[in-house]
Amino acid sequence: MVNEAIELDLKGEVCPLTFVKTKLHLEGLESGDHLTVIFDSRSAISSVPKSVKSEGHTIIGIDQEDAGTWKVHIEKA
């Protein structure tokens, strides 16, 4: 079975909604699925990966797309 890869665009959202929406999206995925979350909130880029890890998921990587946009790659536990 191939794990699903999904992208969630949260540009324009601010904390704590960035984590809440990320968490809700992860809850709908299967273990091993990959979720890429796009942020333009500087506070989200530090808080969301920390919160996601505390929930037991894996941060695969973080890419800065441009001066104000990041992609966080998550694997669901």
pLDDT digit string (tens) for 4-59?
Answer: 689 999 999 999 999 999 999 999 999 999 999 999 999 999 999 999 999 999 99
Cβ atoms within 10 A of the Cβ of 5, count? Answer: 11
Contact 25, 9 (CB under 8 A): no
Angle at the Cα of 11 (from 50 to 58), degrees rounded to 5? 30
List 10, 12, 14, 15, catalytic entry: 15
Is 66 a residue whose pLDDT tops 50? yes
Residue 63 above 60 pLDDT? yes
The answer to whether residue 1 scores a pLDDT higher than 50 is: no
**Is 15 a residue of the active site?**
yes
Domains, the chain, with CATH or none? 5-75 (3.30.110.40)
Residue 26 has what pLDDT? 97
Q: What integer pLDDT is reported at residue 69 of this predicted model?
A: 96
